[in-house]
Amino acid sequence: MPPASRAFGPLGLFAAHPVRPLDIDGASFGLPLHVYACDMHILSGTVALEPLARLLEPEGLRPAALARPGGPPVGVAQVWLNDYGATSIGPYRELMISFSVAMGPAAGPHRDRNFLSPLGPFADPRCAVLVRWLYLDQPLAIDVGRRVWGFPKEPGRLVFAAGPGGRLRHETRDRDDRLVVRADFARAAGPAATLRTLAAMLPGLGPAITVRLLGQRTHAALAITPRALKQTRAPIRFQGWADCFPWRGALELGDVPGPLALRDLGFAPRVVQRMPAVRFVMLAPE
């Protein structure tokens, strides 16, 4: 077991879910997937609600909504920039595009009060994240994601680079070298950024969602596959504080299906969550 995993101790997350060989469709995989270190940035923002509802309708899903004062409600989308530095299948990088969906009639209502409000559905147990498009740079990670969980993962070339003043510069291109996403944005950290976020949480999210966002350790993700709509939950453990800060940057969306959908929906980033040292176990399907 890599040194990074030992911080959990002998009774920790990785020890409780050891990697074992599992045969799936004639191939053997070491499961569950252990992620020992991931630097994760999640860009959350708003999209047009009615077009998103039409996009999700064939899957029988309903978008989570943010009610806006004086305007029509909006949906919520995410762009994930994940740099997996150490996992049980080796390092890899990943871009994901997802939407917040309501898992029942009681989900919500969520209100758009400040820059943190798009995180409301993300932390609401009555909602889930529909992962719709993914690009990765390692064949094994793509194969495991497709064959074990049914995620529609595609090959790509992903670059993460630190810019001046702590900015992040990211670019993803597909197998044909077409631009998928290009992002360049400021990152905030330290006591001042933390205090600003804490001050915005209660008015922006309300007390129940604030408590859950601060303490949540399980995310729900859905994947559209050619065969079925699958749901999976992964135990998550975070090391340190998850920085949340307003989006300040430039986002370019390419002429390929996922980014085109975001453009058609009018995706407007509002907030960035950065978790610089995420560790988790992705359990094999039962």
Mean pLDDT by groups of 10 residues along the chain of 286 residues: 43 81 87 91 97 93 93 96 96 96 81 93 85 95 89 95 94 98 93 85 83 62 51 55 89 97 98 89 77
Q: Which two tokens stand for residue 23?
A: 């045969």
Helices 207-215 and 191-205, axial angle in degrees (round to 10): 140
- 191: which residues sit within 8 A by CB, 6+ positions away? none
pLDDT value of position 159: 98
Residue 50 phi, psi dihedral angles, 5° rounding: -65, -45
pLDDT value of position 241: 61
Q: Report CA torsion sign: 123, 144, 88, 33.
A: positive
Which of 126, 91, 89 lies closest to 105, judged by CA? 126
Burial group, residue 114, by CB count within 10 angstroms (0-12, 13-18, 19+):
middle
pLDDT value of position 113: 92
3-state secondary structure of 200: helix
